[in-house]
Structure 1
Amino acid sequence: MMRRCIGLLLAMWSSAAMAQVYEFPRFDNAAQVRAECDRMLVDLKQRERAIEVLPEGADVLGAIDAQMQRIEDTLGPLWLLPAVHPAKAVRDAADACDLAFQGFSSAFLQNARIYARLKSAPVADDIDRRLQREQLDAFEDSGVALRPAAQQRVRRINRELTRLAQDFDRRIRESRDRVAFTAAELEGVPDDVWKNAPRDRRGRYLLGLDYPTADPVLQHARQESTRERLWRATMRQGGETNLRTLARLAALRREYARLFGFDSYADFALRRRMVKSEAQASRFLADVGEAVAQRERADLAMLRAEKAGLAGTAPETTVVRRWDVPFLSERLRSQRYAVDEEAFRPYFPPQRSLEFVFTLAQRLFGVHFEPLQQTLWHPQARAYAARDQNGTLLGTLFVDLFPRPDKYNHAAVWSFRNVSTKSGRLPAAALVVNFNDKGLTLSELETLLHEFGHALHALLSSTRYTLNGGTNVQLDFAEAPSQMLEDWVYDPAVLALFQQVCGDCPPVPREMIERAERARHFAKGIATTRQLIFANYDLALYGRRSEDPMRLWERMERATPLGHVRGTMFPAGFSHVASGYSAGYYAYMLSMVVAEDLRTPFAADRLDASTGRRYRDSVLANGGQVAPEELVQRFLGRPGNREAFFRSLNKE
């Protein structure tokens, strides 16, 4: 997942300063955060007044881009810190700064004087015209043309949306929920998942809900009651409070859209994206659903037969529960393909896995990474300089590999500082994951490469303007460059690069990789339809009808073959729909359409450096300064299509 840093932004540094490695700022206490935030807000207001009085013919686009750079200089790191900093006071102060900035941003985007100057700004070419249009859209979508009372309401809504989304994520991130199990109840679960876990007074192991812990339990625990208890706990993250917050978020976004004459927030947001409307997004999802419906039924029949065999019951009377799906799928996958995900951990030590993806980037895209000495937010975090083949500095990457309390508990990249060739500004990004220190499974290595794809998009971008840098692209294209790379971990020739970074690591047997590649498509119908309900729920939540989030989810989930489990509240932990991907979760699947198409030139050789360089120059380097459809056509030499994607849906 990519965490996008969106705003209007920052002060230009000199070209000489920009050529230096980015030093992540040190924040030891909340007072430092507040002081830096106050300085930024004062500076931004001065810059706003300066842009208002720019003379006719002045470089308005450059001035607004410099504003963005000033914001990134302070807020960029602060957007990251709530996810990774160990001190709650610092995390809360960073959130408070973002909330304060929201007030400035809303007012800035309603500034009619700046809007008028932007509208008449001189443009040199298509890149300038695209940025101008995007910025005009941003002003218009923020209410620059609304009456004063409506403008005030827009500002209050934006501030409330920011606060509520922060609260939603904070409740999940700072949860102390644990589930207690005896050793007997954890039969089948790999020892390293639970044997070092804290214990309660009765000696039971207390397991958290982070995915490095929960996934192995759900996949391997032999006792159904163990899987059920942990699954139910994961389905209650955020609790009733987050359900109320989500209802308020949906109501506010619907009200926001109606201020602009839209009955649906989804239609309001999607008109600026590749898909154009809620109706088109829904049609796409319906097409996918139709393509995988039969496969889902066949998948469920296989799981039912397997559970019946284990329980000694008749298949027609056997009921597959949601907590059975990971266990039965993993069991059948192992039986059919002789693949055990846990068996990959000795081959992929975490730090060596990171060095492996660095080596792949060097081979394919001509970029190498060298470690840097920096004092960061946590001793386990690391910094790296990204350099071109000739040694030219391209940007700085920060990596945080391992789980800990209060840390963001999934996987994401924050591209918090973006490039600008015009001002000599270099990018910086942070890759945050939560891996087992004993090693990665192959699917976790796939996750690492996915997130690294976002980081490469940020670091290899060479756009004129910061506002177009890296992952600042249309949302339904943003995942494609990272999804594209996921396939690479199933190629024996690619994994052979591991020996270059870890001579002591045993090479993964070729047949083991080939079996895993076949196994990855197992139960694809179930996995795809699960993603479909997430996407359809998101669109419905932000559609025309006002819906209670939990009742909507219960109704939609009850209509699926596995039904709804009473007492669970999945939407309370579904942070995507609360914040960055609201009315946008469909983008994961639509981006995969593009990703499958982008893979086609690499089909013969995933390590072909000439194809990699062409991809880097045509897609990654252009960030958001060229329309996604045009980037795809430049790379493929033809318009993009959905053929490869729909073929992949039924690949065995």
Structure 2
Amino acid sequence: MAKKMLKRSTLCLLSMAMTGMSQGVWAESTSAVLPILKNSASADWCDANVQKLQQRISQLEKQTVQPQSAAAPVLAEWDQLMASFEDFAGPINLYSNVDPDAKLRKTADDCEVKINQLQTEIYQNPVLYQRIKNTKATDSIDQKYRQDILDAFEDTGVQLAPEKRARLKNILDELTKLSQQFSRNIRDNPEKLEFTPAELKGLPGSYISGLKKNDKGNYLLGFEYPEYQPFMELSERDDARKRYQTAFTRRGTEKNLTLLKQIIDLRYEQAQLFGQSSYADWALKKRMAKDPKTVNHFLADVHNVVAPLEQKEVEELRAFKAKSLKISLDQAEINRWNMAYWSEKLRKDKYQVDQEKLRDYFPTLAAQKWLFAISENLYGIQFKAAKVDAWQEEVEYYDVTDKKTGEVLGGLYMDKFPREGKYGHAAVWGVYGGSTLSKRKPISVLVTNFNRKGLNGDELETFVHEFGHALHGILSRTRYSGQSGTSVERDFVEAPSQMYEEWARRKETLSKVADYCDPACPRVDDALIQRLKSVHNYGRGLRYARQTLYAQYDMALHGADALKVQPMDVWEKMESATALGYVPTTEFPGQFGHLMGYQAGYYGYMWSEVLALDMLSAFGDNLNNPEVGQRYRQTILSQGSQKNAAQLVKDFLGREPDNKAFFSEITGQRVK
């Protein structure tokens, strides 16, 4: 899943960063590693870096660019300025989410507010805007980058009247603060729920042994996914699952419902300043979908297909529950808090797939070595471990090199295991992009919260998905860092990762995991692959119906009636219309973190999947084909946003994309 992001893209990456401090500002290094902020981060330190950037901007303002000047040198100078900005801002965004020190995370959050204020000042500066406006680009890459920069200025209000421009600046500042607080309320929630040993019946000893107890001998569980998800799938106590699920949806606290309302109202006002009828109208004009009408039509088409499937699957679960408990069908109720439990029971009974047992097939370290190996084969690269300082002792770092030339392409950090105060999902942070012009190397930071011993099938897919984001950044070979990697349109950015998920499903790839197990682990065979395929197909109605609900809710919050909207009321109404209905006292919107980065964009997950499944067709029956992998690397991954996404896909496929594979997937009719 994608998560908190920088403004430029949906993820987070890093590049040739800085390793030391000099006179309160970043000191450049030739190493592709990140700065460590311990004992360095303070308000004064942050202000010094902001001031240094402001001085560079002042110098740039004094340099005149005549109309029709060649764009290349002006764009190069601009890109170097923004790379310096990124050197400072990128690590701050990462550390506010992953650093073990709560005080440092708060310092980083405070600094990020100042960084976003500076970014707004830059893109509202009419002198800087005119410098770019006066240029003339002579090739397609410069033409697109020039237009991308102008769009960024105009979207930040450089052409607005002074009073509107000032109001927009205030709105953007306030949105930064409110979004930070929304995310912090979820991430830093210290609440622990108390469960008796009886309430943990059904959970494996390996799970229970890792839990903390209180002085009464009861277990204390928080909201990290490695604790929450197995409990919801395996605990035999219905009342305990309901209590946990309700608390989980409320972990953002009621404060977040208030914050969310303030945020959507400010976004609506932002759109009004630009003469747009809704935030969705304003946000979508630079994405593949272009307008809310197209998005809503797409979501309606998906809903019409998956809603009957969702209802059918709920009825199947009810019948299975009735049979299992020897009760009447009328008594066999399926609810939000028991859906995962009965789904897991049905999967075990019908397909003989136990998600917990899959951890034996996919030990975490072996899965990582396997993922490195298949990526190396596919893209002609190598991962070379290196010892570097990091924000936490278990964080790993790898240089990524080209297998033929030996050139260092970029770097990869991996922060795999859960800890208190850390971002709770899985994400890739992009802090810096790469640039062939300035020989700037990209770095990806992959953040997960995995079980230390092994991964189940869903977690393996998540690992591969996020690794796809990391590679999208590392294998970028763009002229300008501003067009690097995941700077593509928001509704395309998930496509490379979604396509890569297939490598976690097919025998030709999965059977190789056992090659990297030490001690030995069971090898995936044809029978297990078939069962895993059946499990993947099972529940797709519930899964895609839920994704459609999230996307439609996101669009509802950002429509023309935003000022009249109460987020909780809208959610309750929309969820009540689904097959499982709404559970009283739950507060899903207050912990829906994607609204802080994917606003009017959650539909992009399914929109991207349309393209991902279409691109997958190019690999045919051989996912391990390095010739296709190299073509994909060159036409998609290396290009960043030097071309628009539609053209990238067309270049790779050799034709216009279509949605046939996607609708075959969501209806369970895909052959492969």
TM-score bin (small chain): over 0.9
SS in 2 for 1:561: coil
Q: Which of 442, 447, 464 lines up with 2:462 in the alignment?
A: 447
Residue number in structure 2 paired with 1:471:
486
2:504 corresponds to 1:489: yes
Q: Give the number of aligned pairs.
A: 648
Residue number in structure 2 paired with 1:290:
304
Residue number in structure 1 paired with 2:35:
25
Q: CA 1:35–1:507 in 2, change beyond 3 Å: closer, same or farther?
A: farther
Residue number in structure 1 paired with 2:135:
121
- Which amino acid letter does the alignment assign opposite residue 429 of structure 1? S
Q: Which of 38, 52, 55 lines up with 1:46 in the alignment?
A: 55
The structural deviation recorded for 1:190 is: 1.9
SS in 2 for 1:429: strand
Q: CA 1:202–1:10 in 2, change beyond 3 Å: closer, same or farther?
A: closer
Q: CA 1:342–1:23 in 2, change beyond 3 Å: closer, same or farther?
A: same
Q: CA 1:55–1:131 in 2, change beyond 3 Å: closer, same or farther?
A: same
The structural deviation recorded for 1:35 is: 4.6
Give CA deviations for 1:508-556 in whole Å, capped at 9, x if unaligned: 2312232112211101101110111110000101111121111111111
Q: Which of 603, 617, 640 lines up with 2:634 in the alignment?
A: 617
Residue number in structure 2 paired with 1:5:
6
- Which amino acid letter does the alignment assign opposite residue 53 of structure 2? L
Give CA deviations for 1:457-492 in whole Å, capped at 9, x if unaligned: 000000011111010110000000001011111112
The structural deviation recorded for 1:33 is: 4.7
2:551 corresponds to 1:532: no
CA contact (8 A) 1:18 1:425 kept: no
- Structure 2 distance, partners of 1:639, 1:220, is 45
- Which amino acid letter does the alignment assign opposite residue 26 of structure 1? I
SS in 2 for 1:320: coil
The structural deviation recorded for 1:7 is: 5.3
The structural deviation recorded for 1:507 is: 3.5
The structural deviation recorded for 1:131 is: 1.1
- Structure 2 distance, partners of 1:83, 1:152, is 30
Aligned-residue CA RMSD in angstroms? Answer: 2.0
SS in 2 for 1:585: coil
2:602 corresponds to 1:585: yes
- Which amino acid letter does the alignment assign opposite residue 432 of structure 1? V
The structural deviation recorded for 1:85 is: 0.4
Residue number in structure 2 paired with 1:567:
585
Equivalent residue runs for 1:176-255 within 5 Å:
176-255=190-269
Q: Which moved more, 1:225-234 or 1:41-50?
A: 41-50
Q: CA 1:7–1:519 in 2, change beyond 3 Å: closer, same or farther?
A: closer
CA contact (8 A) 2:412 2:470 kept: yes
- Which amino acid letter does the alignment assign opposite residue 194 of structure 1? I
- Structure 2 distance, partners of 1:250, 1:508, is 50
Residue number in structure 2 paired with 1:37:
46
Equivalent residue runs for 1:282-431 within 5 Å:
282-389=296-403, 390-431=405-446
Q: Which moved more, 1:35-44 or 1:508-517?
A: 35-44
CA contact (8 A) 2:214 2:220 kept: yes
- Which amino acid letter does the alignment assign opposite residue 583 of structure 1? A
CA contact (8 A) 2:379 2:630 kept: yes
CA contact (8 A) 1:7 1:68 kept: no
The structural deviation recorded for 1:604 is: 1.1
SS in 2 for 1:395: strand
Give CA deviations for 1:121-179 in whole Å, capped at 9, x if unaligned: 13131111111111111111111111111111111110100011111111111111222
Equivalent residue runs for 1:65-84 within 5 Å:
65-84=79-98
The structural deviation recorded for 1:115 is: 1.3
Structure 2 unmatched runs, 5+: 19-26
SS in 1 for 2:65: coil
The structural deviation recorded for 1:238 is: 0.7
The structural deviation recorded for 1:98 is: 1.1
Give CA deviations for 1:379-436 in whole Å, capped at 9, x if unaligned: 1111110011031100011000000100000000001111001111000110000001
CA contact (8 A) 2:468 2:500 kept: yes
- Structure 1 distance, partners of 2:480, 2:459, is 34
Give CA deviations for 1:352-377 in whole Å, capped at 9, x if unaligned: 22221111110111111011101110
Structure 1 unmatched runs, 5+: none
- Which amino acid letter does the alignment assign opposite residue 446 of structure 1? E
- Which amino acid letter does the alignment assign opposite residue 640 of structure 1? P
Residue number in structure 1 paired with 2:122:
108
TM-score, L = length of structure 1: 0.96
SS in 1 for 2:131: helix
SS in 2 for 1:638: coil
- Structure 2 distance, partners of 1:214, 1:643, is 36
The structural deviation recorded for 1:616 is: 0.4
The structural deviation recorded for 1:335 is: 1.2
- Structure 2 distance, partners of 1:171, 1:12, is 32
TM-score, L = length of structure 2: 0.93
CA contact (8 A) 2:409 2:441 kept: yes
2:445 corresponds to 1:438: no
- Structure 2 distance, partners of 1:10, 1:407, is 18
Residue number in structure 1 paired with 2:559:
543
- Which amino acid letter does the alignment assign opposite residue 538 of structure 1? D
CA contact (8 A) 1:414 1:430 kept: yes
CA contact (8 A) 2:384 2:398 kept: yes
Q: CA 1:462–1:471 in 2, change beyond 3 Å: closer, same or farther?
A: same
Residue number in structure 1 paired with 2:523:
508
The structural deviation recorded for 1:92 is: 1.0
The structural deviation recorded for 1:12 is: 10
- Structure 2 distance, partners of 1:461, 1:559, is 43
- Structure 2 distance, partners of 1:103, 1:7, is 15
CA contact (8 A) 1:371 1:385 kept: yes
Give CA deviations for 1:231-263 in whole Å, capped at 9, x if unaligned: 111111111101100000000000110011112
CA contact (8 A) 2:14 2:90 kept: no
Q: CA 1:116–1:78 in 2, change beyond 3 Å: closer, same or farther?
A: same
- Structure 1 distance, partners of 2:45, 2:149, is 27
Give CA deviations for 1:433-468 in whole Å, capped at 9, x if unaligned: 000112111211110000000000000000011111
- Structure 2 distance, partners of 1:289, 1:101, is 40
- Structure 1 distance, partners of 2:259, 2:513, is 45
- Which amino acid letter does the alignment assign opposite residue 515 of structure 1? R
CA contact (8 A) 1:10 1:68 kept: no
2:659 corresponds to 1:642: yes
Identity %: 38
SS in 1 for 2:343: helix
Q: Which of 25, 49, 65 lines up with 1:55 in the alignment?
A: 65
SS in 2 for 1:261: coil
- Structure 1 distance, partners of 2:462, 2:650, is 27
CA contact (8 A) 2:16 2:443 kept: no
The structural deviation recorded for 1:41 is: 1.3
- Structure 2 distance, partners of 1:555, 1:472, is 35
